[in-house]
């Protein structure tokens, strides 16, 4: 039987990543944009000078060179801003959950959420995304709060999702409570991975690329 004090820590710990400095991200994006094409000085002959342009590899065509793209094969994601994983199987007792803050401001929008989760066995769990106000009630013990259904997956033993988040402050939870799906009678071993990433740059009317605000 798992130590209940350890299980209790799952219910009360919200892991909140420190958000990246937007100015740093903009500078990185601008730098990578400037690196996308490197012009090398050409040879001078008797008629005219010539230059050759070497274009860096961009396999997914998102405007970010592979050397600076955290997701070089995914056209919808470019820069990883947060990553978490279970580091192997995590045991959850009935009533436990593990939660992660996805955004730190209700004005935030545009980041791409990706998660994967699987259970050893056939007892289902829920992968839930809450708006922050709903999560606060859930964390205090309420089990009838609304969830962001388009980002959540319920009653699953294996699942994955990739989606761009709408404006708002969200929390992701690996859930083994009665919030949505009744729990089993014993513990479950869960393996999960969670990523939050900046989306690919969007072209503007001037031809430049920018990420959504």
Is the pTM value of this prediction over 0.85? no
Cα 36–Cα 24–Cα 206 angle in degrees, nearest 5: 50
Nearest CA to 197 out of 9, 60, 43, 95 is that of 60
Give CA 112 to chain center in angstroms: 5
Tell me how far CA of residue 205 lies from CA of 26, 60, 103, 199, in angstroms: 18, 22, 29, 18
Cβ atoms 209, 203 nearer than 8 A: yes
List the alpha helices (DSSP H) in 119-187: 132-139
CATH class of 4-18+78-203: mainly beta
**CB-count exposure of residue 205 (10 Å: 0-12, 13-18, 19+):** exposed
Helical (H) or strand (E) element with 11: helix 4-12
Return the domain boundaries, the chain. Answer: 4-18+78-203
Residues 6+ apart with CB under 8 A from 194: 82, 83, 84, 85, 100, 114, 115, 172
Q: Which of 98, 108, 103 is nearest to 139 (CA)?
A: 98
Give the N- to C-terminal CA distance of the chain in Å, as an integer.
Answer: 48
Across the chain, which has 213 residues, the per-10-residue mean pLDDT values are 36 51 38 34 35 52 48 50 85 97 80 95 98 97 97 98 93 98 97 87 51 45
């Amino acid at each position: 039987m798992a130590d209940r004090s350890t299980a209790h820590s799952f219910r009360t710990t919200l892991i909140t990543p420190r958000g990246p400095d937007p100015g740093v991200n903009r500078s990185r994006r601008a730098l990578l944009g400037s690196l996308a094409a490197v012009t090398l000085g050409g040879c001078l002959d008797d008629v005219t000078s010539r230059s050759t342009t070497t274009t860096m590899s961009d396999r997914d065509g998102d405007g970010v060179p592979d050397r600076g793209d955290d997701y070089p094969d995914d056209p919808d994601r470019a820069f990883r801003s947060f990553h978490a994983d279970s580091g192997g199987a995590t045991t959850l007792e009935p009533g436990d959950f593990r939660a992660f803050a996805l955004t730190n401001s209700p004005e935030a929008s545009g980041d791409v959420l990706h998660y994967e989760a699987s259970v050893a066995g056939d007892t289902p769990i829920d992968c839930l995304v809450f708006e922050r106000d709903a999560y606060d009630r859930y964390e205090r013990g309420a089990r009838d709060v609304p969830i962001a259904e388009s980002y959540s997956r319920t009653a699953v033993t294996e699942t994955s999702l990739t989606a761009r988040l709408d404006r708002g402050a969200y929390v992701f939870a690996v859930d083994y409570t009665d919030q949505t799906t009744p729990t089993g009678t014993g513990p479950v071993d869960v393996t999960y991975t969670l990523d939050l990433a900046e989306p690919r740059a969007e072209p503007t009317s001037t031809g430049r690329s920018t990420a959504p605000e």
